[in-house]
Amino acid sequence: MKRADVIVIGAGPSGLRAAGRLAAAGLDVRVLEKKSRVGANVVCTGIVGKEVFDDFGLDRRSVIEELRTVRLVSPFSTVLTYEHPRPFACVVDREKFDNALADAAVSAGAAVACDARVDDIAVGREGVEVTVRDGQGGVLRQAAAVAILATGVDFGLQKKLGLATPRDFLNGAQVEASLPGRDTTTLFFGRDVAPGAFAWSVPAGEGKARVGLLTKKDPKACLRKLLDAHFDGRPGTGEEVPIRTKPVAQGLLSGTFGDRVLAVGEAAGQTKTTTGGGISYGLTCADLAADVILECFGRSSFGAADLAEYERRWKGLLQKEIVVGHYTRRMCARLSDGRIESLFHLAQTDGIVPIIREKADFDWHSGLIFALLQRLSFMKFFRDVKDRLGPVGLS
């Protein structure tokens, strides 16, 4: 088979976006996806900031709901309702969302192959070679000048190449089921609900909701408990609606590139360390990866020294967000339920809501974190967090 310019491994949002950009610039791009169809069985709540569609010129047909109001439920069932001045995010159908990106990549000239699992990768002086296993167990080899690893939380190929892989994870679990009346996005906090992070219920259209959580503990057990406590045991206890799990990568990675290869999206740890969302950072970094690869083709030089520019650029954009979010979330995971409860009461009286209204941004959280830490720094715990983060925030 003729050697491609770029092989993209993984047809999630990050890989498909990079493939589309590179194909649009005239390169011969092949996307290899192990699943039998793009977007199949993705474990994701599908919330993206409203700006994503305009920023990346994306089709809006995948949008199910627009979000404007959020209910926050404390460990002791205190409820706060926050209404943003306008819709700030959308819930999407991930299969449709990913397929819109696949269609854009194919229209630009990329080839997308499903049932194509990359089992092995080797980098030589002249190019990259991958071993691909198809749905029937057949094996073939494909070669390219450059490979993009966009494999999400599947890190086998990165390990093989000695690229960095995340060391910290949150365990995610989710069900999507018919839950009429659950049409307001609700976040649940507390050590009993989602130790280490938080849980949610998000409307998914036609009377359905996605109920999920991130935790450091057993995510299925925690989700069953949440369903029992807040959803009359439905739907997780019924065998017909499976709870699906997947980890979320956390923390800043160094070493997301090598000779002729780079990692993008969740594979490179490019997720929001506050909420676990990774779609928009993945799209953003896919564009940076495409820019740098195109520059490499301009020079016909694909060494690690050339691709290092990719990591420099994505860190320039995301390092502060990832580091500040990661530290803050880990510190907040130490809060007792009593302390969380007192924050809920403080929020009702203490001018926190106006700060959120002014500073909240769906994808960029460090500005809000610093503003809240400043406001709460009369409490020693938050003063310590703020002091610890000061140097990062200033850099």
Residues making contact with ligand FAD (CB under 6 A): 9-15, 32-35, 43-48, 117-118, 150-152, 154, 157, 172, 174, 212, 246, 248, 265-267, 271, 276-279, 282
Instruction: Output the six-digit token pair for 267.
Output: 């594979």
Instruction: Tell me if 4 sits within 8 A of 25, measured CB to CB.
Output: no
Of 186 and 373, CB closest to ligand FAD: 186
CB of 364 to ligand FAD, least distance (A): 13
Nearest-approach distance from CB 342 to ligand FAD, in angstroms:
29
The residue among 47 and 376 lying less far from ligand FAD, judged by its C-beta, is 47
CB 359 within 8 A of CB 375: no
C-beta of 145: minimal distance to ligand FAD in Å? 19
**Nearest to ligand FAD of 33, 341 (CB atom):** 33
CB of 164 to ligand FAD, least distance (A): 15
Bond from prior residue into 166 cis (ω within 30 degrees of 0): no
Q: Which is nearer to ligand FAD, 230 or 246 (CB)?
A: 246
Minimum CB distance to ligand FAD smaller for 46 or for 203: 46
Nearest to 308 by CA among 317, 296, 321: 296
Nearer to ligand FAD, 43 or 353 (CB): 43
Residue nearer to ligand FAD on the CB measure, 121 or 389:
121
CA 7/CA 367 separation, integer angstroms: 37
Nearer to ligand FAD, 31 or 343 (CB): 31
Separation of alpha carbons 372 and 355, rounded Å: 7
Minimum gap (Å) between residue 176 Cβ and ligand FAD: 11
CB of 299 to ligand FAD, least distance (A): 27
Residue found by looking up tokens 């010129």 in the block: 57
Which C-beta is closer to ligand FAD: that of 61 or that of 159? 159
Pairwise CA distance, residues 313 & 325, whole Å: 19
Token pair belonging to 290: 């495409």
- Least distance to ligand FAD from the beta carbon of 13, Å? 4
Cβ at position 287, least distance to ligand FAD in Å: 13
How many whole angstroms separate alpha carbon 128 and alpha carbon 5?
Answer: 10
CB of 348 to ligand FAD, least distance (A): 27
Which CB atom, from 48 or from 296, has the smaller least distance to ligand FAD?
48
How far apart (Å, rounded) are the C-alpha atoms in residues 339 and 386?
Answer: 17
CB of 276 to ligand FAD, least distance (A): 5
Other beta carbons within 10 Å of 41:
10
The burial class, CB within 10 Å (0-12 / 13-18 / 19+), for 289 is: buried
